[in-house]
A = this chain, B = another copy of it.
Amino acid sequence: LPDISKIEKLITNKTKAFILNTPGNPTGRVYTKREMDDIAYLAKKHNLFIISDEVYRDFIYDGEEFLSFAARKDVEDRVILIESTSKRFSACGARVGFLATKNKEAYEALLKMAQTRLSVSYIDQVGAVELFKLDKNYLHNQLAEYEVRRDTICDELLKIEGVVLQKPKGAFHILVKLPIADSEDFIQFLLNEFNYEGETVLITPGADFYFNESLSKNMVRISYVLKAEDLKRAALLLRIALDEYMKK
């Protein structure tokens, strides 16, 4: 996060809330205790809500403990926690998200909104409740599996010349700098022209995640939601594709 004084300068009387995402998509960045203290301090000082998108909260690597804004006493009346079954239970097909807050006023307003607007599928709501009854080992085993995936894809990507990345601390995406000028053009090449033994890879342009697209023109987001074996294969395809692309 930028320095606290830089953030504070941007707060105006129109500012109502911070919207934060930790662990973050697309970088896998996890906010530090210090950064969270800063946000909490500013939220109290300027009477702001903290809308904390923690949909990846179960994906924290290297044995680190996850710090949630929702667990902090000092801002408990101003946090709105965003969660989702998509990430926690790999149930993206359910399309069920949810939120939690200890702020009664916000809770009642949000409940009214949910009752007035058309809600998500009824069956999936019932299903989502059942997911929470899963054995605790489910999340534990899932985390171990994702840690292997993260390590695999990082190791494989770093074998490619010119690739720069920071190993993610959480979530299941990496933002990777590739030795190319325009990732959008490279991705079109991957989808339209490239194939190796009938296969190609699908990655996301980094520019989708930046206000300033020029900063991210050579970046791509890679999601490591496949089995380790498949990730190895994907990294191989990427390496061959880069070679071919650069020869064009």
Q: Which A residues contact B (CB, under 8 angstroms)?
A: 92-95, 118, 120-124, 127
Contacts and interface: CB of A to CB of B under 8 A. Distances in A.
A38 to B, nearest CB: 33
Copies assembled: 2
A118 B94 CA distance: 11
A25 to B, nearest CB: 14
For chain A, what secondary structure do more than half of its interface residues adopt (helix, strand, loop), or is it mixed? Answer: helix
Contact of A95 (B92, B93, B121, B127): B121
Nearest to A94: B121
A-B complex: 9 closest residue pairs judged by Cβ atoms: A93-B122, A121-B121, A95-B121, A121-B124, A94-B121, A123-B123, A123-B124, A93-B121, A95-B120
A8 B241 CA distance: 53
Given A93-B122, A95-B121, A121-B124, 15 more contacts: A92-B118, A93-B121, A93-B123, A94-B121, A94-B122, A94-B123, A95-B118, A95-B120, A120-B121, A121-B121, A121-B123, A123-B123, A123-B124, A123-B127, A124-B124
A236 B184 CA distance: 64
A51 B47 CA distance: 47
A122 B123 CA distance: 11
